[in-house]
Amino acid sequence: MSDKKKVIITFLGNIDYDTRCNNLFNTLDSKGFDLEFIGFDWLTENFKSVKGKKTVYKLSKKPVSIFFYFKFYSLLKLHLLSKKFDIIFAEDLYCLPVCVVIGKIKKAKIIYDCRELFGFLAGLKNKKLVQKFWSSIEKLFIKKANLVLTTGEMDSEFIRNHYKITNDIVIRNLPLYRKADSPFDYYAAFKIDKSKKILLYQGVVLHGRGLRMIFDFLQTTNDFVLVIAGGGEMLSYYRDLAEKLQIADKVFFIGKIPQEKLINYTAGAFVGLSLIENISLSYYYALPNKLFEYIMAEVPVLATDLPQMKNIIDEFNVGLTIKENNIEQLKYALNKLKSDESYYNQLRMNCHTASQKLNWEKEIKRLVDFI
């Protein structure tokens, strides 16, 4: 690209722990765009701000604080005003207002990544005024974006009807096409008996992700252990709960895994869990990156039968789905995967086949063509 377009990606989060931002940055960088990332981190322990091509500012307040948002918006606004750019990505709703206002000033193309139905998040379920506020913000600014990205067909259908827009395309949360070269040995690392099967929960630790049901299940069996690979503000709650339920010896918290190491950690598991509960519209439409990361690592999936996840699992036959909070179905599914080796191996083979279609390189082409 002789005349490089300057692209800035903004995100209320850390690119090192976000697959979507990381893949977007690396893809556009490889296509010859002049890339810069602006992010924020308030969760990583002892984190210090880093500046450069990938700038990540440290925020010290929790996101429920007005001072948190004031600092976030101030840093983002000042950073963008000091830059020249042709295209700006708002990778979440929180960045969108600043990106729209300054993007218009700079006469830049504005791309909004509606990666969640932000006005309908599970965390806002009992906060009607906050939910209404963010819905109003999204409704106001989404129409000012040149392009809106969603993560699934049902998400696109919803926002088209709800916000009356037509300039959207689906870019699912697919991983890069790569295979594990050295699957992580959980048995050796944590001295786990090899007769036990490893269940993997990957992603942010929050309520509504099926963890309580898995904990209850672990109380009834010695055949499985759970690895939780992720961080979040509910992490201490689930640590304490594991102790309270006397299953701490069956639950291993390994923290957030950097993107470049994730495939090997995923590949070391027996089953990948995506037991999202229908506690909000955003969760109902869930099609999380963890689902596709399990498939890429050739680890069969156990998920709740929410429509978009079920569609993928059924289409490619890469796992099983169960009703949410149905521990009997959970027991049946896991015991089937454990006892029927032929069936389990077929699912692994199906994951391998599916991964050749469900990868970022194929998915991102339509966005690159647009910009």
Provide long-range contacts, Cβ within 8 A and 24+ apart, for 115-118. Answer: 115/20, 115/91, 115/149, 115/150, 115/151, 115/173, 116/92, 116/151, 116/282, 117/155, 117/158, 117/159, 117/281, 117/282, 117/285, 118/92, 118/93, 118/282
Distance separating alpha carbons of residues 329 and 264, to the nearest angstrom = 29
Amino acid, res. 88: I
Provide the pLDDT for residue 1: 45
Sequence spans of domains, the chain? 6-174+360-370, 186-355
CATH 3.40.1010.10 fits 6-174+360-370, yes or no: no
Q: Give CA 124 to chain center in angstroms.
A: 18
Provide the pLDDT for residue 125: 65
Record the tokens describing residue 210, joined without a space. Answer: 């099926």
Cα end-to-end distance, the chain, whole Å: 13
| Helices (runs of H) and strands (runs of E) counted in the chain | 16, 13
Question: Model-level pTM greater than 0.85?
Answer: yes
CATH 1.10.10.10 fits 186-355, yes or no: no
Distance separating alpha carbons of residues 252 and 40, to the nearest angstrom = 27
Of 126, 123, 134, 57, nearest to 96 by C-alpha is 134
* Cα 195 to Cα 183, 223, 224, 254, 299, distances in angstroms: 18, 7, 9, 21, 18
Q: Give CA 102 to chain center in angstroms.
A: 27
Per-residue pLDDT in tens (0 to 9) along the chain, 371 residues: 447 899 999 999 999 889 899 999 999 999 999 999 999 998 887 888 899 999 999 998 765 678 899 999 999 999 999 999 999 999 999 999 999 999 999 999 999 999 988 777 766 666 778 788 888 999 999 999 999 999 999 999 999 999 999 999 999 999 999 999 999 999 999 999 999 999 999 999 999 999 999 999 999 999 999 999 998 889 999 999 999 999 999 999 999 998 889 999 999 999 999 999 999 888 999 999 999 999 999 999 999 999 999 999 999 999 999 999 999 999 999 999 999 999 999 999 999 999 999 999 999 998 988 88
Instruction: Please return the burial class of 210, using the count of CB atoms within 10 Å of its CB with bins 0-12, 13-18 and 19+.
Output: buried
One fold for both 6-174+360-370 and 186-355?
yes
Q: Give CA 247 to chain center in angstroms.
A: 27
Question: Residue written as tokens 């504005």?
Answer: 110
3-class DSSP assignment, residue 27? helix
* Cα 119 to Cα 92, 115, 162, 369, distances in angstroms: 11, 12, 11, 29
Record the tokens describing residue 361, joined without a space. Answer: 């390189």
Distance separating alpha carbons of residues 162 and 276, to the nearest angstrom = 24
Record the tokens describing residue 116, joined without a space. Answer: 């969640």
